[in-house]
Each structure stands twice: as C-alpha cells, then as structure tokens.
Chain A
C-alpha cells in the first residue's frame, strides 16, 4: 500500500524511506522487506536511533522532511493508506491460540485516522510550505516528544540493552531493557522490542506472542505484556490521535 502511494507521488518530488526498528537487525526485517520488494530506500535500525533522533515511541510513526532538510512534521502516528472497504483484521482465526484472538480483538479497537492523514500528506506534496499541514520549526519542536534527563537516560539503557542482546548477552540485556521501560513509560516500541525477544511459543508467530510463555509463566522477566498493557491503557489510547 505504501509502495503504491510512493510510486504515485515519486514523480512529484516525493520519496519514502522505510526504517525497520529491530534489535535482531537485518535478520528480523529480511522476510518482510523481501516480500515487499521496495523501490525506495529501506533501512535497518538495530538500536532504534529513530527513537533517539526523532522521538519515535510506537510503530507505525512517520516524520515529514522538506526539500531543504527541515522537519515539517515530527514523529506521529502514520496509518497505512486507506483501503475501501476496510478489511477485517480478524480472518481465519480458527486455529489460532486464544491469546492471538484476544490480541486481534484489541488491535481492531485501535483508532485509525488514515483518511485525514493521507489527505494531509497529499496536500503537503502538492503545496509544500504553503500547505497548512507543514508546521513551523517552533511547532515541530514543541510537538516532538517530551524528553527530560530520565527519558534521555532511558534511551541510553535501551541502546545498551540492544547492543548486549546483539552480542549474545540476553540475560544482561533484560536489566537494561527494564530500566528503559521504567524511564520511558510511554514508549511502546521499547516494550514490544524487549517482549518480542522472549519468544513464548514456537513457530512463526513467536515474536508476536509478547507475553508470559504458557508452559512457564514465571519465566517472564517483564512487568507488563502486550495484552495486559493495551487493556490497562485502553486500545483507543494505544496511538495518539492524529491532529492537523
């Protein structure tokens, strides 16, 4: 969907850069990128520099940058281009474990501002700085995520955790992931990344389990998990709503 949008807008001076945030690096992202066959730059971000540099706290999120290299919209929720009719995201789940059924039941409650977001994107591509969706430098900074010393320290713990994980020190990584979660409590990517490295079940869906393993729940090293945390905050608050 993004690829088609990019190909349509590319002749108008627009480029899409996709960045896969994954401690597992190219190995984690490869099947998805190879299936998508992107014609645009498609990058691998093992240490989540997108969080540090732009304030990304969830996926999908996007940043708009103009021809002069100025950010005109900071990191914000970026839904996929709208499709009509919207397909149900619960399909053929007869064989799925109950946890996945419940995860998908929560996921469909997550609000989607795709129509407004993509109308704004097209307006900006057509009109540039004259578009009302292109924000001033002051607005861009003010709308970027709050960051105090504790949040900055949480980013450092996350990067250290990610590096330790990549070097094979999984147990050492967990302590730093936990510190990152404590210090940056609004980051879903920091939590989902750590949860996705624990497994829980075998098979291709292992990284989506993101919760205590059914055979040994005591082994789970984190306070929260995807289903509990989304229910606690409410699926309708999972993403910040898009605003013009």
Chain B
C-alpha cells in the first residue's frame, strides 16, 4: 500500500494490507502474527511492519512510502482463502471480489502492453 505518513487508522491498515488487527495480533486466514503492544485506533506503520516482516520502502524526495506484502510462509499465498480483491472498473466504481461468493470465479490478469 502507498502511504504519505507513517501513522494511519486501523481500518486503512487492514484494507491496505489485507491483515485484520485482532487482540491476538495481525491475522489473515488462520495465520496470526503477535503484535506488542496490541494495536489501538491508530497504527505505527514502521513498528508494525517490522514486527510482521513487511518491507517498507521510501522515496524521501516525494514523501512517499510503499508497504509491501508478507513473506512469512515463503510463498505468495499465506492462506488459500481468497483475498477480497477491491479494484475499480473503467468508470471508477469499486468492485469487490467477495460480491461473487456462491459462484465459481476465474480472475484473469491481462495487460495492454
């Protein structure tokens, strides 16, 4: 996720990383990473990223950071539970993959180049 500050709201952190913040730590599927102290309403991104092993990359000149994905399992997928992919369509309307629950879905990646 892209950041222009390193203290953000809990919901933004969860939406941006796909990790839910629970009393037992940051959780995705049935995997949880303990966090100390337990997160409150706001998240110290640098500290939390370090505890979770998420890379944080900076472009100082433009005041931007990118918080990368986890690698704790050594694989792109930490769980087989599908992430709730949220992306806009051509008109900018957000689509959520979870809206198709109950159907079989093939998600097809293509590119115009």
Binding site for B on A (CB under 8 A): 2, 13-22, 26, 28-34, 41-45, 47, 49-50, 52-56, 59-72, 74-75, 78, 121, 124-125, 128, 137-138, 140-142, 144-149, 151-157, 159-160, 163-164, 167, 169, 172, 176, 189, 192-193, 195-196, 207-208, 210
6 residue pairs A–B, Cβ–Cβ below 8 Å: A28-B113, A67-B104, A70-B80, A71-B81, A155-B68, A160-B2
B80 touches A30 (CB 8 A): no
B106 touches A17 (CB 8 A): yes
B66 touches A163 (CB 8 A): yes
A147 touches B74 (CB 8 A): yes
Interface residues of B in 61-98 (CB under 8 A from A): 61-62, 64-71, 73-83, 85, 87-90, 92, 95, 97-98
B73 touches A53 (CB 8 A): no
**B contacts with A, residue count (CB < 8 A):** 53
Smallest Cβ distance from B109 to chain A, in angstroms?
5
CB of B33 within 8 A of chain A? Answer: no
CB of B101 within 8 A of chain A? Answer: yes
Contacts of A69 in B (CB 8 A): 81-82, 98, 101
Contacts of A19 in B (CB 8 A): 85, 87, 107-110
B53 CB contact (under 8 Å) in A142, A144, A149 = A149
CB of B100 within 8 A of chain A? Answer: yes
B80 touches A62 (CB 8 A): no
Contacts of B70 in A (CB 8 A): 152
Given contacts A65-B82, A149-B55, A163-B64, contact A121 B106 (CB under 8 A): yes
CB of B39 within 8 A of chain A? Answer: no
Smallest Cβ distance from A189 to chain B, in angstroms?
7
B78 touches A64 (CB 8 A): no
- Cα distance A47–B76 when bound, in Å? 16
Smallest Cβ distance from B104 to chain A, in angstroms?
5
Contacts of B100 in A (CB 8 A): 15, 17, 41, 65
Given contacts A29-B112, A53-B85, A160-B64, contact A63 B71 (CB under 8 A): no
B68 CB contact (under 8 Å) in A78, A145, A156 = A156
